[in-house]
Amino acid sequence: MKGGVGGGSGASAFIPAKRRWRGLVIGVLGLVILSMLVPLVFLLGLYNGFHTPGYPSDTQNSKSGFQPGHVDDIIRKLGPTLPKDVFQNYAIKPQKEVKGFIHDSQEVKGVIHDSQEVKGGIHDSQEVKGAIHDSQEVKGVIHDSQEVKGFIHEEAKDLQPPKVDTRPTHSHENSTKVGGRVQAARRMTVMDESGKPCEWKFGSYCIWRQENREVIKDSMVKKLKDQLFVARAYYPSIAKLPSQSQLSQELKQNIQELERVLSESTTDLDLPAQIEKKSLKMEAAITKAKSFHVDCNNVDKKLRQIFDLTEDEANFHMKQSAFLFQLAVQTMPKTQHCLSMQLTVEYFRIGSTDLEPSQAEKYADPTLNHYIIFSNNILASSVVINSTVMHAKESGNQVFHVLTDGENYFAMKLWFSRNSYKEATVEVLNVEHIKLNDHKNATLVLPQEFRVSFRTLTHSRTEYISMFSHLHYLLPEIFKNLEKVVVLEADVVVQRDLSALWSLDMGGKVNGAVQFCQVRLGELKSFLGENGYDQNDCSWMSGLNVIDLAKWRELDLSRTFRSLVREQKSMQGRSTDTTALRASLLTFQGQVYALDDSWSLYGLGHDYKLNAQDIENAATLHYNGYLKPWLELGIPKYKAHWKKFLDREDLFLSKCNINP
């Protein structure tokens, strides 16, 4: 009983003491909160001009003599004494980090509640009926889940700590609403080249430059070139100052050093490790040179001199690149020259007796389908034959005659004996060994391509015309037993069966070709002359041509061609590249049968804008132009149509590293 009574009296004595302790704690916490809230309200009030929805507007402030501009002046005066991160610590904090003054998702237990509208100094999302509400937990003072119309306004998703960098920012992003106006919260983050803040106004170049900044490749190389350009301009003027011999020597050494570096390096990766120090030394020397009063005329003259030299150098490189381009597209690639040499060596190693054809009787059989190819390119000839055979309904009646020169003759012989093309027959002829009655031994002349440009007052255009060479006019004499042939150029890929060409009725015409009406004969007056042809006629293209040799012999067109060549030579005193163009167009005047456009699509060697559907529907693809498919310069999206008919697993292709 005593124990129970004693225990009861002790508990009753402890209750008043506990209440007193709780009251003291609450009082202390209240003082702490007020001591933190008052400086915050004061600072934010100065910064925002005390413009809150519940207080007088800008008009009222102006009437009372209180101007926001005065507050800005006060802030600027107090700026040096305030910590640099004062607004970073109190105005904007990242989400989920601030448990002091700003919290992003929970309940305000202290002063401000986030559930309804605050009509006084701080506004959130719902109404605060008292000082403390217990919907959720916020351990700080200010909640930022929605809009704050008083001291701080910002979407919770946009609350990020301000970063001093040069990334582009927009004037409407991360804004602070003050007195109905929207002010940028990050105006100080966008800097110009000197490190000063950009002036925020419409059309500011400083802001545009930061927003549209691009990463420059090899920026250090370009910087060094600029430094070298400026140093060269100042050096003559500094060298004339007797008292600045040391600076003159320093500039000279830096110029020589950068010239040596740039002669060995074209990209940033090629630069030496100590290039940063060298750049800083050059920059310091240029700064010293700019500090002296020199004659501006001398500097101007030197800059103009360097500019002229640079322009001359640019023109030289432009001409050099044009020459190298022509050299690259008109010569055989090194890998294909290797292929020809490897095959020639192999031909003589194994002996030619094993390579004699066993189907020689087919070469002169007029009942078969004969195709003529003039080429010194092994791979191109192989693709033409392979693509033709792959799409033929019957390959046994196809005979291909490849006419080449003595340099590639043995390589061609070995290549076509090692590779089979279904049941088709391939004959390789050396044009230098062909014996003709009225002519000396012929030389290989490939079909010629002409680049014709037309210029008017409004626009200009360039077209490519492919035409027969002098050797084509010997076909009736080389193939005396044949009456009809199809001439294919080496830059052609066949995509459809060509057997219908042999039953084509050309109405007594000699040459079945695709017409090229983009260039009419009247537009070639400078080549053809004024008379002797219909100016409205379209020119025609070689590449895929059906030739009636019997009609050709009857009209003796070879003689007509030779007479036109002699006429042109007598007029100009010599034979030119355009001689074959004029002679061919006039020889076949009125003797061209227009094939349907679907038989051949040309332009794959120069035109980047051909329609993909037209390419798929064309019977043959003609890569006329400079950008042949076997060259590295060829148009990539057209190469696939050519490469799929090439046997890349051949041993000799691997030896010569051929991978078109």
**Residue 459 and residue 70: Cα distance in Å, rounded?**
63
The per-residue pLDDT for 190 is 60
CA dist 556 and 629 (Å) reads: 36
Topology of domain 334-656, CATH: Spore Coat Polysaccharide Biosynthesis Protein SpsA; Chain A (3.90.550)
The domains spanning 219-330 and 334-656 adopt the same CATH topology: no
Q: Which two tokens stand for residue 106?
A: 């929970």
Give first-to-last CA distance, the chain, whole Å: 109
Q: Give the separation between CA 117 and CA 464, rounded to whole angstroms.
A: 77
Q: What is the pLDDT of residues 559-589, one digit of tens each?
A: 999 998 888 877 766 556 677 788 889 999 8
Higher pLDDT, 212 or 101: 212
What's the pLDDT score for residue 204?
A: 62
Retrieve residue 389's tokens: 């055979």
- Strand-strand pairing, 600-602 and 538-548: unpaired
Tokens in use for 635? 């148009």
Confidence of residue 409 (pLDDT cuts 50, 70, 90): very high
pTM of the shown model? 0.58
Assign domain 219-330 to a CATH class: mainly alpha
User: Is pLDDT at 236 greater than 50 in this prediction?
Assistant: yes
Where are the chain's structural domains? 219-330, 334-656
Is pLDDT at 44 greater than 80 in this prediction?
no
Q: Is the pLDDT of residue 405 over 70?
A: yes
Which has more pLDDT, 525 or 604? 604
Residue whose token pair is 């001398």: 298
Report the chain's mean pLDDT, rounded to a whole number. Answer: 75
- Mean pLDDT is highest, among 57-61, 193-197, 531-535, for 531-535
> Above 60 in pLDDT, residue 7?
no
Instruction: Report whether 428 contacts 412 (CB < 8 A).
Output: yes
Q: For position 434, what pLDDT does the model report?
A: 84
- What's the CA gap between 542 and 624, in Å, rounded? 9
- Is residue 196 helix, strand or coil? coil
Inter-residue contact 276 to 252 (CB < 8 Å) = no
| pLDDT over 80 (residue 376) | yes
**pLDDT(3) > 90:** no
> How many residues are given for the chain?
660
Q: What is the phi/psi pair of residue 121, to 5°? A: -85, -30
Q: For residue 250, how many other CB atoms are within 10 A of its CB?
A: 19
Q: Does residue 440 register a pLDDT over 80?
A: no
- For residue 393, give both structure tokens: 């309904």
**pLDDT above 50 (res 618):** yes
Task: Please give the average per-residue pLDDT across 299-324, as a whole number.
Answer: 82
CA distances from 259 to 255, 270, 419, 465, 503 (A): 6, 14, 56, 47, 71
Helical residues (DSSP H) of 212-367, grouped into ranges: 219-239, 245-264, 275-291, 296-330, 334-350
Nearest to 48 by CA among 66, 79, 72: 72
Residue 121 has pLDDT above 80, yes or no: no
At 492 the pLDDT is 96
E strand or H helix at 353: none
Structure confidence at residue 439 as a pLDDT band (50, 70, 90): low
H-state helical runs in 435-483: 475-478
Residue 631 has pLDDT above 80, yes or no: yes
Which DSSP string do the residues of 534-572 spell out, in sequence order? -TTPEEEEEEEEEEEHHHHHHHTHHHHHHHHHHHHHHHH
- With 50 as the cut, is the pLDDT of residue 164 above it? no
Instruction: Using the predicted structure, report yes or no on whether residue 120 has a pLDDT greater than 80.
Output: no
Q: Above 70 in pLDDT, residue 78? A: no
Q: Looking at residues 172-198, what average pLDDT do you find?
A: 48
**Residue 441 has what pLDDT?**
65
DSSP 133-152: --SS-BSSSEE-SS--SSS-
CA atoms within 13 A on the CB side of 74: 12
- Give the span between the Cα atoms of 247 and 277, in whole angstroms: 18
Residue 659 has pLDDT above 70, yes or no: yes
Whether the predicted pLDDT of 17 surpasses 50? yes
Calpha distance 610→630 (Å, rounded) = 19
Mean pLDDT of 66-76: 50
Tokens of 540: 């025609």
- DSSP 8-state symbol, 215: P
Q: CB neighbours of 545 closer than 8 A, spacing ≥ 6?
A: 486, 487, 511, 512, 513
What per-residue confidence (pLDDT) applies to 343? 93
